[in-house]
Structure 1
Amino acid sequence: MKKYLLSTLFLLVCLLSNGQDNVDSLVAIGIQYHENGAYDLAIEKYEEALEVSPKSPLANYEIALTYMYSQQYEKALEHCDVVLEQKEEYILETYITKGSCLDYLGDTKASVKLFKKAVKKFGDHYLLYYNLGYDYYKMREDEKAEEALISAINLSPGHASSHLLLGFLKADQQKKTQSLLCLHYFLFLEPDSDRSVAAYDLLMEQFGGNVTSDDKEITIYIDESDKNSPFSAADLMISMLEASKNLEENEGKTDEEMFIENTASFFTVLGELKKDKNKGLWWDFYTPLFYAISQSDYMDAYCYYISMGGNQNAGGWVQDNQDKMKAFIKWLEDPAE
């Protein structure tokens, strides 16, 4: 009898193991379909996996994600709840998927509530703060959005989306210097993508604002309400740099040459304005890097590199100057050398 029970137990373990292997295999195929944009085929494979293991956290999470991408948000929520009720694996990822679906369905307040709950559960995580920031941005709660996005950046400085969204937020607030710093860093991380084009266009637009000119005079508009801001001097410098394009000494210079010169001046001014009393992301994170670049031999490499998405000439320059780009990368790894 004991031998029979052991044999039965061994058979059951084998069946369970084979079933899990089958679930994993089906989900893996589904993921490949998803990555290729074949969402219907992906869902079919996930459903096959769920027939084997209806409560599988992996299969439920992946099908929820694919339902979200295919804009079937209600179905995505159903599978998210299956994962969350089990409190096992893929919990963080599922919170993010569920919160995003709630937002897409128009219930942004519920999305915020869910992300705040997730922060309490998991502690600080950059994706939770980024999604919180995105929700607050949509709700036009700018102060909360900025706080959340800065938290995301502090936790994961390489998360390009957080820099980009903060750049758009500060542009909406007409905080030109802060917005430019965010956009510069985003383009530093992601210079050549679909998003890079919009970021580059906004950067160039802000670099040329507050200035009008005709044949006789140049007019610079100053926001007096913001004159006590630690960024007011930098904002004024931006306008002056744009106005300088009309000076006789700059005639004949290409747009790329002017961009390099003006960006170097902008970074230099920020570095010189940095004081002990000026703290936070703008002064302690962005400014030291950009000031160091402005004082290096690689200002041209930097400017062409971040311009690749929005300037057709920039990509050619980068290709033709690979040695300089390699030297720039090496310098970034150890600026003290």
Structure 2
Amino acid sequence: MMKKLILLISLLVTISTVGLHSQTNNAQELIEEGVSLHDEGEYEEAIERYNEALELDSTLINAVYEMSLSYLALKDFENASIYSTDVINSDNEALAIGAYAVKSEALAEMDSVDKAIEILHEGLERFGDDYLLNFNLAINFFKTGDIDKTLQFVKKAIDLDKSHSGAFLLYAYALSDKGLWVQSILSFQMFLLLEPDTRRSKNAFDEMLQLMCIKKSEEPVERSFIQQQMSRRSATEPTDNTPPLSVENGLNRSYVYEAITNSLDSLINSGEEVSEFTTFKTVNMEIMKVLDRESVGPREGIFWTFYIPFFSHIAHSSYYDAFTRYISVSYFPESFEWWEQNPESAINFVMWFENGDDN
């Protein structure tokens, strides 16, 4: 009798364990379905899947995290804040960093930018330096108009991870607003290398052309990260459209401006009709020549040790034409046509950019 009882208990435990595994597997499948629906823009349906998964297993914190993302996408910032808080309070450190970013964005959208900044600082204290937390801090300081703090945290984000295009775009905006227009031009180009063909790429290229004095516009350029449009003009920029020309970070910017104006005058006086793309390519090369010349000798700072060597290497390579086509593909129709007509050259440039000279 005792043996039969033991066998019965063992059988019940086995059945129970199998049932739990089956429920967990079903719940994970529902989460995966929800993620796919979210990626397709079906946010409400995604939330339904996450709720179904939580009914099967209430401990699945990844379902809660994914739900916070879907509520954020729906602009239901109250629920995004609630569910991201649940993730932050959980023991899942891997998801908590993302949850801090979700909660900070939800708070900022509810006009609580100061609270958003506070919660991100909490995340940094808890986890140490992290790209996402620093980047989101930079965004929130940018929204408040604190350019110095924006630069501080976006530079830290870039130091931690140089693979994210958004950080370079925000850096370009902040540098421009600070009056550091030469540095801004190079940061715009780094962004465009990483993200060449989106709507914000086109707007970024437009703003960069204005910094390069190639294009003039009375209308402000639409920017990312903020709801309102902003002019590129900084508070220190003269009103005659001449950019700041003082020596900054060891760079005499009057040399760069002189190279730009001389190049533009030469193109105008050539007697030939010159396209805006050719103007951009020519002016950009002249800027790089000046920066090359000025970088001789011991220099410190990311502008001298990373940006200038990086873009100088491209300028002196056989890929410079492909590079200018690549970063302008969202802006110039002829660049888009070039990429369609020269797929092998396009692929070779991308491979060279990703793998370096050795490959």
TM-score after normalising by structure 1: 0.89
Cα gap change, 1:4/1:178 in structure 2, threshold over 3 Å: closer, same or farther?
A: same
Contact 1:61 1:94 (C-alpha < 8 Å) held by counterparts: yes
* Amino acid across the alignment from 2:357: P
> What's the offset of the Cα at 1:252?
2.7
Which residue is equivalent to 1:230? 250
Is 2:66 the partner of 1:44?
no
* Amino acid across the alignment from 1:136: F
1-side partners of 2:202 and 2:35: how far apart?
29
Cα gap change, 1:228/1:75 in structure 2, threshold over 3 Å: closer, same or farther?
A: closer
Instruction: State the number of aligned residues.
Output: 329
1-side partners of 2:64 and 2:199: how far apart?
31
* Amino acid across the alignment from 2:210: E
Is 2:177 the partner of 1:183?
no
2-side partners of 1:251 and 1:99: how far apart?
54
Cα gap change, 1:271/1:173 in structure 2, threshold over 3 Å: closer, same or farther?
A: same
Contact 1:95 1:115 (C-alpha < 8 Å) held by counterparts: yes
Which residue is equivalent to 2:234? none
Instruction: Please show how residues 186-225 of structure 1 align to structure 2 within 5 Å.
Output: 186-208=191-213, 221=242, 223=244
2-side partners of 1:336 and 1:17: how far apart?
49
* Amino acid across the alignment from 1:334: G
> What's the offset of the Cα at 1:305?
1.0
Counterpart among 295, 302, 307 of residue 328 in structure 2: 307
Is 2:323 the partner of 1:334?
no
Is 2:330 the partner of 1:325?
no
Deviation sequence 1:157-204 (CA, Å, 0-9, x none):
111000001111112223210110110111111111111111111111
Which residue is equivalent to 1:110? 115
1-side partners of 2:335 and 2:107: how far apart?
41
Instruction: Please show how residues 154-303 of structure 1 align to structure 2 within 5 Å.
Output: 154-208=159-213, 221=242, 223=244, 226-227=246-247, 229-231=249-251, 232-237=253-258, 239-241=260-262, 243-244=264-265, 247-249=268-270, 251-303=272-324
> What's the offset of the Cα at 1:12?
2.8
Which residue is equivalent to 2:143? 138
Which residue is equivalent to 1:22? 26
Cα gap change, 1:253/1:243 in structure 2, threshold over 3 Å: closer, same or farther?
A: closer
Structure 1's unaligned 5+ residue stretches are 212-218
* Amino acid across the alignment from 1:69: A
Q: Which moved more, 1:202-211 or 1:88-97?
A: 202-211
Deviation sequence 1:71-114 (CA, Å, 0-9, x none):
11111222222222221252222122112111111111111122
1-side partners of 2:215 and 2:257: how far apart?
9
Contact 2:264 2:279 (C-alpha < 8 Å) held by counterparts: no
Contact 2:260 2:283 (C-alpha < 8 Å) held by counterparts: no
Is 2:77 the partner of 1:77?
no
1-side partners of 2:112 and 2:47: how far apart?
25
Identity of aligned residues (%): 24
Cα gap change, 1:78/1:17 in structure 2, threshold over 3 Å: closer, same or farther?
A: same
1-side partners of 2:241 and 2:18: how far apart?
77
Cα gap change, 1:118/1:207 in structure 2, threshold over 3 Å: closer, same or farther?
A: same
Which residue is equivalent to 1:216? none
1-side partners of 2:27 and 2:241: how far apart?
65
> What's the offset of the Cα at 1:323?
3.6
* Pairwise CA RMSD: 2.4
More helix by share: 1
Cα gap change, 1:86/1:253 in structure 2, threshold over 3 Å: closer, same or farther?
A: closer
Which residue is equivalent to 1:214? none
2-side partners of 1:39 and 1:220: how far apart?
46
Residue 279 of structure 1 aligns to a residue whose secondary structure is coil
Cα gap change, 1:210/1:252 in structure 2, threshold over 3 Å: closer, same or farther?
A: closer
* Amino acid across the alignment from 1:35: D
1-side partners of 2:9 and 2:317: how far apart?
75
Structure 2's unaligned 5+ residue stretches are 217-239
* Amino acid across the alignment from 2:46: A
2-side partners of 1:228 and 1:63: how far apart?
47
Contact 1:164 1:182 (C-alpha < 8 Å) held by counterparts: yes
Residue 300 of structure 2 aligns to a residue whose secondary structure is coil
Contact 2:267 2:279 (C-alpha < 8 Å) held by counterparts: no
2-side partners of 1:210 and 1:301: how far apart?
22
2-side partners of 1:257 and 1:64: how far apart?
47
Contact 1:264 1:299 (C-alpha < 8 Å) held by counterparts: no
